[in-house]
């Protein structure tokens, strides 16, 4: 779309009162200009109802849709553009592409908007005899029209699983598992079998007609007076010959895919055809097997529609969440918002910016700024936490680790049950990004905790388990930090000594599809994750055995009892790893206590004065050279202490050379250990921070964030 909106008064005043096709054509080829996003605040706006800034933004957004750029919008803009695509209809294929693009970009977050987009898209496809998409909004007549359209095509077009379910009426776990594959195979078989029928193809088995009609989308007695879209197709559900054939082919195909070959008994004379289609599907040559051939007879009938009347009864929007779009966190997060007093929070648990008053907006931004700084914020309505979590998840400017930290702050400042909802979102994020999750709580979703546990145990080497993960594997027994360290050290020791967890437990996994970010805008999405099988509880036995041995060792048992089936060699490995972990904890504790010790210069000066007095009393003479040396050492110590900042991390950074700093930065990214540099860095850390910070070329996890902030 070329050209810009004309800013003349005549254009603004000349906007139509109605939405007739002629009125729409006046604005159809106007391009838009970028301006501030302003929601329409109406579900069904006309051009005149959109004041100048809103109209500018709408035309700017619409021009982006034609270029494949789907920017911020609301329900009113989507509805108005859908009306334009339906009524002006200059280029049906371009309009179909726009509908599908908007469904892909904006679908899945609001049922009202989904119904508008999908209903308009399907009606447009039927009106222009395009291939009807498989949407949930398809009713019986439109589904039958779609199936007849596919089966009457000269080329092979596979039916969807929902199309096949519409004909057969079958459901079940096994059927659903092979639904898509069975639909493609049965569609190819019907296409090939159709060659043996009359010229109409397989639809020759469906002689009964189906006369159907569809109402224009959004029509009502108040807004539109449309004639119905009328069409005639074959009744694919009322022809016994056709439905019996499809059911037999479908059942034979599903049973074969499930491992039971009943093709000959079920498919009868078409057994060879079905078997050939199954083999072609396995080889990826189904298209070559189902070659095109000429068919006669179209399922389409007369399509008539007309329009009169105006749009009335505008309603406030409130349905389209502008927070879904990725620019919101960056744009509003960088604004300087004055501190706002307590305002009654908006009631919706899932709010959007277009619903906020200026006071609500200022209060929310002030609250968000407090949360993201890490300060303690007052607990607000669930909508605040939900909206902030949504913005964090959708903001591409945040790296994965920063997003987790921000989500944790958001969870900390949320009340139940929103904190549990955000906690599950944090685990989903860690599963998607491959991150180590923060400590889940007792209310965390079971399947997500199991997925994280599975990932940790099948990793090479095993990843760390949290206290909550260990507790759930150990019959709910309490797990303190010492036991957690011992269990994780034992898992790594078993792996490093060649025992491998897979040699002492069944580590086979299954792939399961999980919906993640449930209850968030633009979500949920699905992901495949690995879980131990439903009957496989070997990993629980292994973790429980390690916990028993480690707990006994911590309590002082030199030779703890070996659980049945665990093996004495593995028992000794766990015991030794537990002892080593305890020793390491003691060393860290001792180094921290040493860091708190400071040289008391006043006591040194007092002792020096006492030494002089005693020397005079004894008639001894203190050597001047020794005294001067002592004064020099004391002066240097005084200077060093005076130069210290009071912040142990800053003191630590000041003690490092440039080469040592570069080594620390390399360790943050992962590098080969340099023992000399590592000893020097750890020595400086012990003197200031009170603990070592590096181990074998890697940063100790507890200090990773502090090191990244300090060494830059």
The secondary structure of residue 196, as a DSSP letter, is G
Give the H/E segment covering residue 554: helix 538-554
Q: Between the ranges 94-98, 171-175, 198-202, 375-379, where is the mean pLDDT highest?
A: 94-98
The answer to whether residue 9 scores a pLDDT higher than 50 is no
Highest mean pLDDT: which range of 125-134, 371-380, 507-516: 125-134
The CA distance from 89 to 25, in Å, is 10
**pLDDT, tens digit, for every residue of 261-278?**
888 888 888 899 999 999
DSSP string, 578-620: HHHHHHHHHHHHHHHHHHT----HHHHHHHHHHHHHHHHHTT-
Choose between 436 and 378: higher pLDDT.
Answer: 436
Span of 10-19, 308-317, 475-484, 621-630 with lowest mean pLDDT: 308-317
Contacts of 547 (CB under 8 A, 6+ apart): 470, 473, 474, 477, 479, 483, 487
Per the DSSP assignment, residues forming a β-bridge with 232 are 211
pLDDT at 539: 84
Say what the pLDDT of residue 63 is.
Answer: 86
pLDDT of residue 1 exceeding 50, the answer is: no
CA 120/CA 133 separation, integer angstroms: 11
The answer to whether the CB of 693 falls within 8 A of the CB of 679 is: no
Helix, strand and coil content of the chain, in percent to the nearest 5, comes to: 55, 5, 40
Please tell me the least confidently modeled range out of 306-320, 373-387, 508-522, 614-628.
306-320
Query: Average pLDDT, stretch 338-352?
Result: 56
Q: Are 516 and 527 in contact (CB under 8 A)?
A: yes
pLDDT in tens, 320-339: 334 333 344 444 444 455 55
Which pLDDT score is estimated for 97?
92
pLDDT above 80 (res 468): yes
Say if residues 468 and 441 touch (Cβ distance below 8 Å).
Answer: yes
Distances in Å between the alpha carbon of 169 and those of 133, 161, 240? 20, 11, 14
Task: Please give the full DSSP string across 469-500, using - where no structure is assigned.
Answer: HHHHHTTT----HHHHHHHHHHHHHHHHTT--
Of 630, 592, 625, 583, which is closest to residue 609 (Cα–Cα)? 630
Average pLDDT of span 629-651: 57
Q: Quote the longest CA-to-CA distance of the chain.
A: 132
Nearby residues of 524 by Cβ (< 8 Å), 6 or more positions away: 515, 516, 517, 518
How much of the chain exceeds pLDDT 90, in percent? 8
Q: Give the whole-angstrom CA distance, residue 684 versus residue 223.
A: 78
**427, 408 Cβ separation under 8 angstroms:** no
Residues of 203-239 as b/e, b for ≥16 C-beta within 10 angstroms? Answer: bbbbeeebebebebbbeeeebbebeebebebbbbbeb
Residue 494 banded pLDDT, cuts 50, 70, 90: confident
Residues in the chain: 712
Does the structure show a pLDDT above 60 at 595?
no
Q: Is the dihedral of CA 171, 175, 180, 184 positive or negative?
A: negative
For residues 524 and 91, which has the higher predicted lDDT (pLDDT)?
A: 91
* Report for 33-37, 41-45, 320-324, 488-492: range of highest mean pLDDT: 488-492
Residue 103 CA from chain centroid, whole number: 19
pLDDT digits 0-9 by tens, 289-303: 888 888 876 665 444
Q: What is the DSSP string of 80-103?
A: HHHHHHHHT-S-HHHHHHHHHHHH
Question: How far apart, in whole angstroms, are the C-alpha atoms of residue 365 and residue 483?
Answer: 42
Label residue 528 exposed, middle or buried (CB < 10 Å: 0-12, 13-18, 19+): exposed
Phi and psi at residue 40, to the nearest 5°: -75, -30
pLDDT over 50 at 3, yes or no: no
Q: Six-digit token pair at 332?
A: 């509003």
End-to-end CA distance of the chain: 48
The CB density around residue 132, as the number of other CB atoms within 10 Å, is 21
Report the distance separating Cα 394 and Cα 328, nearest Å.
9
Q: Who's near 314: CB < 8 A, 6+ residues apart?
A: 42, 43, 44, 45, 49
What is the per-residue pLDDT for 252?
92
Contacts of residue 484, defined as CB under 8 A and 6 or more positions apart, other chains included, come to 465, 466, 467, 470
pLDDT at residue 186, as a whole number: 93
Question: pLDDT by residue (tens digit) across 675-686?
Answer: 778 888 888 888
Single pTM value for the model: 0.46
Tell me the C-alpha distance between 550 and 571, whole Å.
9
Residue predicted with more confidence, 70 or 629: 70
How would residue 103 be classed by pLDDT, with cut points 50, 70 and 90? very high
Structure tokens at 335: 């604004």
Supply the mean pLDDT for the chain.
Answer: 77
**Structure confidence at residue 324 (pLDDT):** 38
- Output the pLDDT for position 352: 65
528-580 pLDDT, tens per residue?
A: 888 887 777 788 888 888 899 998 998 888 888 888 878 888 888 889 889 98
pLDDT number for residue 323 = 38
Q: What is the pLDDT of residue 634?
A: 47
H or E stretch covering 525? strand 525-532
- Omega within 30 of 0 (cis) for the link into 524: yes
Q: Is the pLDDT of residue 670 over 70?
A: yes
Q: Are 673 and 696 in contact (CB under 8 A)?
A: yes
Q: What is the pLDDT of residues 383-408, one digit of tens each?
A: 788 888 888 887 777 788 888 988 99
Confidence at residue 101, expressed as pLDDT on a 0 to 100 scale = 92
**Averaged pLDDT for residues 702-706:** 82
At residue 622, the pLDDT reads 45
CA nearest to 139, candidates 240, 241, 215: 215
pLDDT, mean of residues 58-79? 86
Query: Average of pLDDT values for 62-80?
Result: 86
pLDDT at residue number 244: 92
Instruction: Assess contact for 60 and 35: CB atoms under 8 A.
Output: yes
> Which residues, in sequence order, are CB contacts of 471 under 8 Å at separation 6+?
477, 478, 479
Q: What is the sign, positive or negative, of the torsion defined by CA atoms of 579, 585, 588, 589?
A: negative
- Greater confidence, 362 or 141? 141
């Amino acid at each position: 779309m070329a050209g810009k909106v004309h800013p003349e008064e005549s254009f603004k005043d000349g906007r139509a009162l109605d939405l007739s096709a002629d009125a729409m054509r006046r604005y159809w080829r106007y391009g838009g200009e970028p301006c501030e996003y302003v929601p329409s605040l109406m579900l069904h706006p006309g051009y005149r109802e959109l004041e100048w800034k809103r109209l500018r933004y709408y035309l700017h957004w619409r021009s982006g849709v034609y270029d494949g750029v789907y920017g911020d919008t609301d329900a009113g803009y989507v509805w108005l553009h859908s009306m334009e695509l339906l009524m002006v209809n200059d280029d049906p294929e371009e309009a179909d592409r726009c509908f599908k693009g908007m469904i892909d970009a904006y679908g899945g977050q609001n049922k009202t908007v989904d119904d508008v987009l999908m209903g308009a898209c399907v009606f447009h496809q039927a009106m222009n005899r395009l291939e009807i998409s498989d949407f949930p909004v398809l009713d019986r007549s439109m589904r039958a029209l779609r199936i007849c359209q596919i089966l009457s095509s000269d080329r092979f077009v596979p039916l969807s699983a929902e199309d096949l379910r519409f004909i057969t009426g079958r459901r079940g776990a096994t059927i659903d598992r092979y639904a898509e594959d069975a639909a493609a195979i049965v569609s190819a078989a019907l296409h090939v079998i159709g060659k043996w029928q009359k010229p109409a193809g397989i639809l020759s088995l469906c002689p009964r007609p189906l006369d159907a009609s569809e109402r224009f989308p959004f029509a009502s007695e108040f807004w539109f007076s449309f004639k119905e879209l009328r069409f005639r197709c074959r009744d694919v559900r009322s022809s016994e010959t056709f439905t019996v054939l499809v059911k037999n082919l479908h059942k034979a195909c599903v049973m074969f895919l499930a491992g039971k070959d009943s093709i000959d008994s079920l498919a009868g004379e078409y057994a060879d055809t079905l078997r050939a289609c199954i083999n072609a599907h396995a080889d990826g040559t189904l298209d070559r097997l189902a070659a095109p051939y000429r068919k006669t007879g179209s399922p389409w009938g007369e399509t008539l529609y007309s329009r009169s009347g105006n749009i009335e009864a505008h309603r406030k929007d409130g349905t389209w969440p502008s927070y879904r779009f990725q620019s919101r966190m960056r744009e509003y997060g960088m604004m300087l918002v004055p501190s706002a007093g307590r305002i009654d929070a908006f009631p919706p648990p899932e709010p959007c910016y277009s619903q906020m008053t200026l006071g609500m907006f200022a209060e929310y931004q002030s609250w968000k700024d407090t949360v993201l700084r890490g300060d303690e914020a007052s607990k607000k309505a669930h909508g605040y936490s939900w909206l902030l979590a949504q913005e964090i998840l959708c903001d591409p400017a945040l790296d994965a680790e920063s997003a987790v930290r921000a989500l944790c702050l958001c969870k900390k400042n949320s009340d139940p049950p929103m904190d549990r909802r955000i906690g599950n979102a944090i685990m989903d994020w860690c599963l998607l990004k491959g991150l180590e999750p923060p400590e889940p709580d007792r209310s965390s979703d079971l399947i997500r905790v199991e997925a994280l546990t599975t990932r940790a145990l099948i990793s090479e080497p095993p990843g760390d388990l949290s206290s909550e993960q260990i507790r759930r594997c150990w019959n709910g027994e309490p797990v303190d930090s010492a036991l957690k360290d011992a269990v994780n050290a034992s898992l790594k020791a078993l792996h490093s000594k060649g025992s491998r967890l897979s040699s002492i437990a069944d580590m086979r996994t299954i792939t399961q599809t999980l919906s993640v970010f449930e209850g968030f805008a633009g979500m949920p999405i699905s992901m495949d994750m690995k879980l131990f099988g439903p009957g496989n509880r070997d990993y629980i036995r292994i973790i429980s055995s390690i916990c028993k041995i480690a707990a006994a060792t911590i309590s002082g048992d030199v030779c703890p009892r070996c659980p049945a089936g665990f093996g004495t060699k593995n028992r000794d490995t766990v015991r030794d790893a537990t002892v080593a972990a305890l020793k390491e904890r003691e060393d860290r504790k001792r180094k921290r206590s040493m860091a708190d010790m400071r040289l008391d210069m006043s006591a040194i000066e007092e002792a020096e004065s006492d030494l002089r007095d005693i020397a005079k009393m004894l008639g001894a003479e203190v050597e001047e050279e020794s005294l001067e040396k002592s004064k020099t050492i004391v002066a240097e110590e005084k200077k060093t202490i005076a130069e210290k900042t009071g912040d142990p991390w800053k003191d630590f950074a000041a003690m490092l050379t440039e080469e040592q700093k570069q080594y620390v930065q390399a360790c943050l990214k992962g590098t080969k250990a340099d023992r000399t540099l590592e000893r020097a860095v750890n020595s400086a850390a012990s003197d200031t921070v009170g603990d070592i910070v590096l181990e074998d070329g890697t940063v100790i996890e507890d200090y990773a964030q502090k090191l990244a902030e300090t060494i830059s």
